[in-house]
Amino acid sequence: MRARRLTPADDGPGTTDHVITYDGRPRPYRVHVPPVLPVGAPLVIQLHGGGGNGAGLDRLTRFHRLADRERFAVVSPNGFDRHWNDGRLPAMPGAVDDVGFVAALIDCLAGWLPIDRRRVYAVGISNGAMMAARLASGLPDRIAAFAQVAGTAPADAPSWWRPDRPVPLIQIHGTGDAIVPYAGGAVRTQRRGGIDRGRVLGVEEWAALLATHNGAVGPVVTRIEPDVTIRAWRGATAPCDLEFWRVDGGGHTWPGGVQYLPIGIVGPTSATFDATAEIWRFVSAHNI
């Protein structure tokens, strides 16, 4: 369904808030344009976690700061009712077509920003990370590369996750994540007696599924002391490439970012590397 923008275009530098309608719902999104945005600039779509919103996400990722330096645009949309329909059951409402919404948002932005449609990237944390997996299956011809922090894919993904091309992806996950467990299983909430948030694949299952689909060979293992192990798979072409970063003892957090909630709730944040910088290094090497 065609989206309709309710707020005027603004291609000047800075951060502005907008709304489009999609499927009859108003959908807010925030756009950041660097001081210099060249013709053919990349676009990063950053997807918040469950209960969050686009406006607050950049305090964690700091993609706006990186965009100013590297000259790309950033869009931070809001999930409906603060959640993304990433395909988990029974948690996510099937009536919300977030894959279609993201496709419409890309079209909307391409209408007033000089972005390169071949260099659009999806980055997410938690529920947003799993939405990135959904987009990899649903929009492989619209998004060039994907990044996930503290999230994999719904447990039933092997039954529907069939992109029609290899999908380059970087995934970062802490072994001490108590909300989206590294080993997979039930997603936990921060509140007792919370809503059933469904089940997810473990990191190892997700890596195996991706490597098989991409025809990628590996992994080549690299250790960064004291707490990070990188496994990399490479294939016949660049889109086959995968990287999985394991943070030993790391929580439901963004490495190199702020400790956004107490350690007792989300676990510790690793300072060994900057997830934002590593994600940009990986995704920016890819185009469609």
Would residue 96 count as lying in a domain? yes
pLDDT at 228 over 80: yes
Phi-psi region of 235 (alpha: psi -120 to 50; beta: other; left: phi over 0): beta
193-214 pLDDT, tens per residue?
Answer: 556 678 999 999 999 999 999 9
- pLDDT for 12 equals 73
Would residue 10 count as lying in a domain? yes
Q: What are the residues whose beta carbons fall under 8 Å from the beta carbon of 58, sequence distance 6 or more?
A: 32, 46, 64, 74, 76
Q: Give the CA radius of gyration of the chain.
A: 18
Mean pLDDT of 241-250: 98
Mean pLDDT of 83-90: 84
> Who wins on pLDDT, 95 or 215?
215
Would residue 161 count as lying in a domain? yes
- Measure the CA–CA gap between 176 and 137, rounded to whole angstroms: 28
How does the average pLDDT of the chain come out, rounded?
Answer: 92
How many Å separate Cα 162 from the centre of its chain?
A: 18
Residue 191's pLDDT band (cuts 50, 70, 90): low
40-63 pLDDT, tens per residue?
Answer: 999 999 999 999 999 889 999 999
How large a percentage of the chain has pLDDT more than 70? 92
6-43 pLDDT, tens per residue?
Answer: 566 666 789 999 999 999 999 999 999 999 999 999 99
Domain around 228:
4-283
Choice among 141-155, 186-200, 212-226, 243-257 with the minimum mean pLDDT: 186-200
The CATH number that applies at residue 37 is 3.40.50.1820
Structural domain total, the chain: 1
- pLDDT for 172 equals 98
Would residue 288 count as lying in a domain? no
Would residue 99 count as lying in a domain? yes
Choice among 104-113, 192-201, 255-264, 269-278 with the minimum mean pLDDT: 192-201
Mean pLDDT of 147-175: 96
- Measure the CA–CA gap between 152 and 17, rounded to whole angstroms: 29
